Each structure stands twice: as C-alpha cells, then as structure tokens.
C-alpha cells in the first residue's frame, strides 16, 4: 500500500479519539516524508540527531520534529531550536545539559520523560524509582518544561502490552493529580505500528508509527 493509503487507514482509527500521530521517518528518504506531508501530516519523528538535522533543512518549515531516540548530552547543542518535542528526557545530567544550551539561546526545551517501564537493560529511559529525583530537578529549571511521559514497552503479546501500557497510564494519572512547577501531564506517548491500537485503548494520546506508514525499514543499505 502507498504512504497515503496507510495514513488514511491509521488516521481513521485515531481521529475519532483525538490522538496525535507522529510519523516515524527514521531511515526513510526525504521524498517519503514529503509524501506524508503532502497528505497533511505535520508531526515527524526521528531517533537520531544527525539524521534529523540532515533532513530538517530540506523539508517545509512548519514540520514539527519529534526526537524519539536516546539523546546523548554531547548532541544537545545540535538540536536547540530545531525540535518541537524531545521524547527522551531520562536523567538529571541530560536535563542539566538541555537547561544550559536552551537558556543560552533564550529558548524553551519541550520534553517528555521516557520511562523504562519494562526495566530492560537494552533500553534507555529512567526507572520508576528515579522519577521523583528527576521531577524535582525539572522544577528548578528555567528553560526546560516537561509535557508528559513516553515509553517503549517490551516486545510481547497483547496481554503483556496492555500490562505495560496500563502501568504507564497509572503513573501518568498519578502525576497529573499533583502540582508541579514546569511540569504538566498533557502527552502520553506510547504505541507503535504493532500495538498502537492497544496503546490508545489504554490511554495513549500520542502514537509513534513508522513501518505502518512508510513500509519496512532496511538497515543494510
């Protein structure tokens, strides 16, 4: 199916529920992004800083770029002013680096805190028990705001997916009840090509879909 047909199918599932669709364009050429843009998509996700900053100048300026992959501290300087939402805030050290670079440019970094909800060693994201420390540090920032939470859940069957999505929703709801400086719980970013419907049923209001839109990725090119 074409990019346009894929998008029509996915949006039919999402629009009724007011869920934001981020089209994950990693490894895909600029022309594919342009095709999705031409049928109305404005939110695109990349997982690598280098790839994002290579593509960004070649595409329309009203695209909202989402950095969905791990962000190394030494790469922060490249993304200031170019990214709409950083989904991968996961440490106080990264927070401090964002604060330093964004305050120097008098800009604000919009972020989601990424939680390693499945406690997988292979994945990034903060462990639940370290969340309070990060939240506390966020409250004293002047140039970083937290808009919600993000997770990449462990691979598994439907039951397992639901379990992790529910866990995330419960953390999200509990934080939403509290009052913080610089922190609001507006965005719950979870769900990808194979599990986004379950994620939405469990409360996601932003999903990140790559292969379901652009087709299989080829990493050997």
Ligand X SMILES: *Cc1c(COP(=O)(O)O)cnc(C)c1O
Strands 85-89 and 206-209: unpaired
State the virtual CA torsion across 132, 69, 64, 49 in degrees, nearest 10.
120
Residue 208 binding ligand X, by CB under 6 A: yes
Contact letters for ligand X, residues 155-194 (x by CB under 6 A): -------------------------------------xx-
* Closest CB to ligand X among residues 109, 152: 152
| Residue from 7, 10, 68, 71 in contact with ligand X (CB under 6 A) | 68
Q: Please report how close the Cβ of residue 199 comes to ligand X at its closest, in angstroms.
A: 11
**CA neighbor of 75 nearest in space, from 91, 96, 98:** 98
Q: Is 208 helix (H, G, I), strand (E, B) or coil?
A: strand
210 binds ligand X (CB under 6 A): yes
Q: In terms of Cα–Cα distance, which of 206, 193, 219 is closest to 28?
A: 219
Q: Does 66 bind ligand X (CB under 6 A)?
A: no
What would the x/- binding string for ligand X be over residues 18 to 47, using CB under 6 A? ------x-x--------------------x
- Tokens 């600029």 -> residue: 30
Q: Is 58 helix (H, G, I), strand (E, B) or coil?
A: helix
> Which of 49, 117, 152, 175 lies at the binding interface for ligand X (CB under 6 A)?
152
């Amino acid at each position: 199916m074409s990019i346009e047909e894929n998008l029509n199918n996915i949006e039919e599932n999402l629009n009724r529920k007011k869920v934001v669709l981020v089209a994950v364009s990693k490894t895909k050429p600029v022309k594919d992004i342009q095709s999705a843009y031409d049928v109305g998509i404005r939110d695109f996700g990349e997982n690598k800083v280098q790839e994002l900053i290579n593509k960004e100048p070649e595409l329309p300026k009203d695209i909202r770029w989402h950095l969905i992959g791990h962000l190394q501290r030494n790469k922060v300087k490249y993304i200031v002013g170019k990214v709409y939402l950083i989904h991968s805030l996961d440490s106080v050290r990264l927070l401090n680096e964002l604060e330093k670079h964004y305050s120097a440019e008098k800009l604000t970094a919009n972020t989601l805190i990424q939680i390693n909800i499945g406690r997988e060693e292979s994945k990034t994201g903060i462990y639940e028990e370290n969340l309070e420390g990060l939240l506390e540090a966020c409250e004293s920032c002047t140039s970083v705001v937290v808009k919600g939470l993000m997770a990449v859940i462990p691979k598994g069957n439907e039951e397992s997916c639901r379990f992790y999505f529910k866990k995330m929703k419960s953390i999200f709801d509990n934080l939403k009840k509290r009052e913080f400086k610089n922190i609001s719980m507006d965005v719950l970013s979870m769900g990808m090509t194979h599990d986004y419907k379950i994620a939405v049923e469990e409360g996601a209001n932003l999903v990140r879909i790559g292969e379901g839109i652009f087709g299989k990725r080829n990493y050997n090119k």
